[in-house]
Amino acid sequence: MKKQSIGIICVLVMMAGIVSCGKKVNQPILQQPVSGKLAKVSFGGGYSDSFYYRQDGKLDKIIIFSDLGGTTYKEVYQFAYNSIGKVSSVKIENGDEFRYAYVNDQVTAVSRYVNGVKESYKFINYVGGGTRLESVEEYEKTSPGAIGFAYTFKQEYTYHTDGNLKEEIRYQIDQNGQSKKYQTTRYENYDQHLNVDNTFRYFLYLSGVPVTVNNPTKITRRDEIAGTEQVYNYQFTYNAKATPVKRTMSTGPIGSVETEVIYSYY
């Protein structure tokens, strides 16, 4: 896949009571945060994700912030919901927007718009029509300003018997529709504690689609083209409520890097 951040990851309709007496309000009024919800993930190096919630506990927005050598950057991802409480859109203040489509209460397609123009979309498929994610197919414009879309990428998912993600395989699709595997990510070990963020940052388009139950402690990513592998080992520290407060990552065998991630809660 191309860049998966949320970058890939604001309000279409304001919640009742935010706008009144004909006054224009540029920012949503924050509701009282829900106790125990994830509030912030600090990645080190000046990077952080902050999470804000509506009064009913649903995610309202994510603010990504970085401060690198005095240069600051902030990006706001604003969530909106449909009448049955499912995510209908995620707007980014730079003009990007993700719009969600559902069949039988399951998200089946996510389209990405830039300044109101559809630039790409993803089809989301489930195992046997159930709730477990099976694959994601991505279509992108054939060229800037083009009307047509081309099938460009595919991701496939398999699971351990306990419901945790086992393997994610990524394919590039050529002009003839032939797929070529270029990356395999194996989620080899998990602990027994509940996953609190479920990859908010990296799978924005899968908002509301769970892929892990617990926290992975070993991930191996293989470059299928170069034939190399990178191993990521994770160690979590938990509070009295059994939710993570710190995650330490070390890598190998290609080099050795250790980083810390800090979790905080309302």
Q: Strand pairing of 214-223 and 179-194?
A: antiparallel
Which range among 156-165, 166-175, 206-215, 249-258 shows the weakest confidence by mean pLDDT?
Answer: 249-258
**Backbone phi, then psi, for 12, in 5-degree steps?**
-85, -40
Per-residue pLDDT band at 232 (split at 50, 70, 90): very high
In this prediction, residue 208 carries a pLDDT of 64
pLDDT tens by residue, 82-109: 998 999 999 998 889 999 999 888 889 9
pLDDT score at 213? 86
Q: Where are the domains of the chain?
A: 38-265
Q: Identify which of 222, 236, 233 has the alpha carbon closest to the alpha carbon of residue 257.
A: 233
Give me 213's structure tokens: 């139950």
Please check whether residue 108 is in contact with residue 94, taking contact to mean a CB–CB distance below 8 angstroms. Answer: no
Q: Which of 90-99, 218-227, 250-259 has the highest mean pLDDT?
A: 218-227
Tokens of 111: 């389209």
Q: Does residue 245 have a pLDDT over 90?
A: yes
The rounded distance, in Å, linking the Cα atoms of 164 and 188 is 10
Compute the mean pLDDT over every residue in the chain, rounded to the nearest whole number. Answer: 81
List, in sequence order, every residue forming a beta bridge with 63; answer none if it has no partner: 50, 76
Band of the pLDDT at 127, cuts 50, 70, 90? Answer: confident
Whether pTM > 0.85 for this model: the answer is no
Q: Which amino acid is at 51?
A: F
Tens digits of residue pLDDT in 58-84: 889 999 998 877 788 899 999 999 998
Class of domain 38-265: mainly beta
